[in-house]
Amino acid sequence: MSIITTARMILRPFREDDAEPMFHNWMNDEDVARYCRWYRHKDLKSTQFMLHLYLQEAEQGFAYRWCVTEKEKDEPIGCIEVVGTREHGTCAEIGYVIAKRFWNQGYMTEAVRAVIEELFRCGFHKVIARHHVENPASGRVMEKCGMHFVGFEQELHKFDSDILCDVKVYAIRSEEQK
């Protein structure tokens, strides 16, 4: 899989020694998990298990999950991944998180822009993303990355719950990218 470099970050594959910083920087933070499909991890073991699945998927050829690191420190501070594909595999849906201490400094916009470019380079024709209606910061990232609002959907708020929530869907096509 590719390594993507931006002004302040390096987006690289996950490694076995990433579990502790993942856990402490975002997986155990209720504020980060609130509008994500997963629940906050209460212990390091849960993050180690999830990282193990990430590494397995990478070994099996899944190439669209990046560990977001600070350029100088190589410390994991977030994740961007393709969470699904549509339209016969030509449209990639992305999801992303970043540690709370980096919020509102343009980090995720910088990283998502670079990932969108990479996905178009990889042959996807369209990239979409969805956010909970009560999580407008995520929608703002989508807008700043050139995505446009396409409509509302309802989806399960958490993976194993039956609670539905309203989400806003954003999209960008390869020919729209500046």
Q: Which residues bind ligand COA (CB under 6 A)?
A: 32, 35-36, 96-98, 102-109, 131, 135-138, 140-141
Which residue, 125 or 140, is less far from ligand COA as judged by CB? 140
Measured from the CB of residue 35, what is the shortest distance to ligand COA in angstroms?
Answer: 4
Residue 93: CB minimum distance to ligand COA, A: 10
Q: For residues 126, 132, 156 and 171, what is the CA-based torsion angle, rounded to 10 degrees? A: -10
- For ligand COA, give the closer residue by CB, 163 or 175: 163
7: tokens are: 């002004």
Q: Is 104 helix (H, G, I), strand (E, B) or coil?
A: coil
* Sign, Cα dihedral of 140, 177, 120, 2: negative
- Cβ neighbors of 56 (< 8 A, separation 6 or more) are none
Comparing CB distances to ligand COA, the nearer of 51 and 99 is 99
Q: Residue 128 CB, nearest distance to ligand COA (Å)? A: 11
